[in-house]
Amino acid sequence: VAAEPKVTTMRQAIAELVRDGDTVAIEGFTHLICFAAGHEIIRQRKRDLTLCRLTPDVIYDQMVGAGVARRLVFSWLGNPGVGSLHAIRRRVERADPAPLEIEEYSHFGMVCRYVAGASRLPFFPIRSYFDSDLPKANPRIVPIESPYGGETLYAVPPLNPDVTIVHSQRADASGNTQIWGLLGCQKEAAFAADRVIVVCEELVEEATIRQDPNRTVLPGLVVDAVVVEPKGCHPSYAQGYYDRDNRFYLDWDRIARDPQKLEAWLEEWVHGLESHAEYVDKLGADRWAELVPGEAWSDPVNYGQYA
């Protein structure tokens, strides 16, 4: 059976695969956070999403500020290296302009929720949460006795997103996906999901993937759509392609403190643009030039030829 072509636009991928009320994970630990996908979800005015991420980061502050989310599942709520996420805090602290449901874990708890989800297990046991108030705040974190006796552990429930979105350095048209640099928990979050959108900096031939199979994080088998979106992580980064734009993370602190400024930012940078390509242009060549890293290549390895 010929596979359906998977390469599509961000607009079409989000329109077809992200539905109102879905549980959505755009993962990536500081690295490879797909802001382009978040912006398209905002642009299409999706509603009532449950957003999952270890670190909601500026991307979810923008999405929560834009009103796409009803619920947030997370383990560390901050603007990394800067401070707070003000749009989320307004909703949590003052229900302003509406309440936001939260479901909170630790990092290891969230990671193991994806592992349980990807493995189709009913729970995952970890050695954490002893004498912490987190299980009181979140009754889904449950103490369990080891079936082999002798100790108490804590169980976390599986997390199976409706949609997981993974940004990568490169992928082929079937969705075979390679990542280097920080790996976060994208593999676990993707295998746990019903639907997977892979976004890549570069679309490559399958032969390129096959030259270096150890670098493959996801097989096309679990991928539903492939979107080519260069610079799609800004202000997050793609290792070896562009650096994190720390200036934007600092700017966001000022923008997000004021709901009117936040609204104006969304109008100018999301709703007012047709696509991420326009966003890239609007940022300007000078800004991008600041973000180009130096080079640090690895030596090739010999996989051997066994014909």
Partner 1 sequence: VSDGHGYSAAEMMIVASARQLEGERVCFVGVGPPNIACNLAKRTVAPELELVYESGVFGAVPARLPLSIGDPTLVSGSLQVTSMFELFAFYLQAGLIDVGFLGASQIDRFGNINTTVIGGYDNPTVRLPGSGGACEIAINARKVFVIMPQSARSFVPRIDFRTSPGHPAGGRPQGWLGSGPSVVVTGLGVYRFDDRSGEMHVASLHPGITPEEVRQNTGWDLKVPEAAERTPPPTAEELRLIREELDPQGAYTK
- Judged by the rule CB under 8 A, the positions of this chain that interact with partner 1 are 29-31, 54-55, 74-78, 80-81, 88-89, 92-93, 104-108, 111-112, 115, 126-134, 136-137, 151-153, 180-185, 187-188, 237, 239, 243-244, 246, 293, 296
Nearer to partner 1, 87 or 262 (CB): 87
Q: Least distance (Å) from partner 1 to the CB of residue 75?
A: 6
Residue 277 is encoded by which pair of tokens? 């390509």
Nearer to partner 1, 104 or 275 (CB): 104
Q: Least distance (Å) from partner 1 to the CB of residue 124?
A: 10
Q: Least distance (Å) from partner 1 to the CB of residue 301?
A: 16
Nearer to partner 1, 108 or 269 (CB): 108
Q: Least distance (Å) from partner 1 to the CB of residue 240?
A: 8
Nearer to partner 1, 108 or 123 (CB): 108
Q: Least distance (Å) from partner 1 to the CB of residue 110?
A: 9
> In one letter, which amino acid is 144?
I
Nearer to partner 1, 6 or 31 (CB): 31
